[in-house]
Amino acid sequence: MLADVPASLELIRRGTPLIDVRAPVEFDQGSLPGAVNLPLMIDEERHQVGIAYKEQGQAAAIALGEHLVSGTVKQARIEAWRGYLERYPNAVIYCFRGGLRSQITQRWLAQAGVEVPRIEGGWKAMRRALCTRIEQAAAQPMLVVAGLTGTAKTVLINRLDNGIDLEACANHKGSAFGRQVEAPTSQIDFEHALGKRLLGQNGALVMEDESRQIGNANIPLTFWHALSEAPRIRVEMPLDWRLEQLRFDYIEALLAAFVARFGAEEGFRRMQDQLSNSLKRLAKRLGNARLQRLQRMQALAFAAHAQGDVQAHEAWLAPLLTEYYDPLYRYHLEWRDDAPKELHVGDWESCLEAAQAWSAAARAELA
């Protein structure tokens, strides 16, 4: 009898190689962390089999699938699985519910002399376990790191072994300028990335002050409620320090990522396009006159940057902070009648120390 393994989060925690045999369209909608897509059927084949299943039943659907994936097509699929398993012999396969597709894959591989386990319950069971982990984490002690834009809150979070970087899970920095070179993650992939990050984090958690929506994803509601009610510390840094941080995050790091992907000339052009479009997305909130002024300053900064002056961007970043982001942040602070308790307000270093001290105290209390 061919082996099965339980749908355990230990597979993800240990970094077990995973082969997702679902169709590419399913994989793109949401995969398990670390999985590679080597499908039994491609999208069009799956579509045809689905129609046959609805109109003629399971037996007809299976027969059509065997016809579509046969001969050289079947052999190519088997070779793709075998090639991956030669490199990662401890890999595990799964389909949507651990049903027919993973069973067929497992059987074909066994006939080719390769035995591989499949996950009981498949993707669905693993997703349920990851989402349950997020629900459980909502009951854990939480601390929120707050502060104006540019106070390096994410850097602080990542200095902590119990820091949970929600923006990294979303592949988005959480503002109009937060888009990265790669597309933001889907809702499902965000939840899976967050569930994975929470593995082994059974004590106190520290996170950045975030809106519920980060890029394309929403923080799960129970977790979001816990986050919004958690005590916080607030980082306060001078404007010039914040501008330097923003210039690195939104200009230099972004450009480096685009250049690494597309080369120097195309990377610079794409960086300009992204920053220009990000500013345009704020048109309604900025108003036409202020938007046009910032666009002129941004265009001058691009020209100066092309000549090697990256600091020129501070000319438009500074008013963007002082005239838009800072007042918006303060408005949200004043708007809340039930604002969470602030445990500490200070500079970046003192807030890091405060977060470390809070974490140690929380661990001791839970012990």
- At the top level of CATH, the class of 4-130 is alpha beta
Q: What mean pLDDT is predicted for residues 326-332?
A: 85
For the chain, the domains span 4-130, 138-367
The model carries a pTM of: 0.91
Alpha carbon distance 231, 144 (integer Å): 6
Two tokens, residue 51: 């129609």
Look at residue 175 and tell me whether its pLDDT is greater than 70: yes
Express as a percent the part of the chain with pLDDT over 90: 81
pLDDT-derived band at 310, boundaries 50, 70, 90? very high
* Per-residue buried b or exposed e for 256-278, using 16+ beta carbons within 10 Å of the residue's own CB: ebbbeeeeeeebbebbbebbeeb
Q: Note the pLDDT tens digit of each residue in 129-152.
A: 999 999 999 999 999 999 999 999
Q: How many CA atoms lie within 13 A of 220 on its CB side?
A: 20
Alpha carbon distance 32, 18 (integer Å): 8
The mean predicted confidence, pLDDT, of the chain is 93
Q: Are 251 and 311 in contact (CB under 8 A)?
A: no
pLDDT-derived band at 128, boundaries 50, 70, 90? very high
Q: Are 35 and 130 in contact (CB under 8 A)?
A: no
Question: CA Rg, the chain, in Å?
Answer: 25
Alpha carbon distance 276, 264 (integer Å): 18
Q: Are 56 and 74 in contact (CB under 8 A)?
A: no
Report the amino acid identity of residue 361: A
Q: What residues contact residue 349 under an 8 Å CB cut-off, 6+ apart?
A: none
Alpha carbon distance 18, 34 (integer Å): 7
Which among 95, 131, 169, 351 is annotated as catalytic? Answer: 95
Please give the pLDDT value at position 311: 94
Please give the pLDDT value at position 335: 67
Q: Note the pLDDT tens digit of each residue in 237-255.
A: 999 999 999 999 899 999 9
Q: Are 166 and 207 in contact (CB under 8 A)?
A: yes
SS3 assignment, position 358? helix
* Cα-based distances in Å from 87 to 75, 90, 135: 19, 9, 35
351 given a catalytic annotation: no
Alpha carbon distance 42, 45 (integer Å): 5
Look at residue 167 and tell me whether its pLDDT is greater than 60: yes
Please give the pLDDT value at position 2: 66
Look at residue 3 and tell me whether its pLDDT is greater than 90: no
Alpha carbon distance 164, 51 (integer Å): 43
